[in-house]
Structure 1
Amino acid sequence: MSGYWVSLIGGMIIGLSAVLLLVLNGRVAGISGIVGRLAQGANILTNGAFVVGLALGPVLFLALFGHMPAVTVTGSWPLIVVAGLLVGFGTRMGSGCTSGHGVLGLARLSRRSFAAVVTFLAAGVLAVALLKCAAP
Structure 2
Amino acid sequence: MTIDWLNFTPWSALGGGALIGLAAALFVVLNGRIAGISGLLGAVVEGGEGRGEKALFLLGLLLAPLLWGLFAALPPIEFHGGWLSLGLAGLLVGVGTRYGAGCTSGHGVCGISRLSPRSLAATLAFMAAGFATVFVLRHLLGG
Report if TM-score (shorter chain) is over 0.5: yes
Deviations 1:15-68 (A, max 9, x none): 000000000000100000000100012222111101110001111211221x22
Distance 2:10 2:91 in 1: 30
Distance 1:71 1:4 in 2: 20
Residue in structure 2 matched with residue 23 of structure 1 by the alignment: 29
Q: Secondary structure at the match of 1:130?
A: helix
Distance 1:21 1:70 in 2: 30
Distance 2:8 2:80 in 1: 24
Matched letter for residue 104 of structure 2: T
Any gaps of 5 or more consecutive residues in structure 2?
A: 1-6
Deviations 1:4-23 (A, max 9, x none): 22111111111000000000
Identical counterparts, % of pairs:
46
TM-aligned CA deviation for residue 76 of structure 1: 1.6
Q: Secondary structure at the match of 2:81?
A: coil
CA RMSD of aligned residues (A): 1.5
Distance 2:62 2:102 in 1: 20
Residues 69, 14 of structure 1: alpha-carbon distance in 2 compared, 3 angstrom cutoff: same
User: Is contact 1:94-1:116 (8 Å) kept?
Assistant: yes
Alignment: residue pair count: 135
Any gaps of 5 or more consecutive residues in structure 1?
A: none
Residue in structure 1 matched with residue 106 of structure 2 by the alignment: 100
TM-score, length basis structure 2: 0.88
Distance 2:109 2:33 in 1: 13
Which range moves more in the overlay, 38-47 or 100-109?
38-47
Which range moves more in the overlay, 99-108 or 74-83?
74-83
TM-score, length basis structure 1: 0.93
Aligned pairs for 1:39-50 within 5 A? 39-42=45-48, 43-50=50-57
Distance 1:104 1:4 in 2: 22
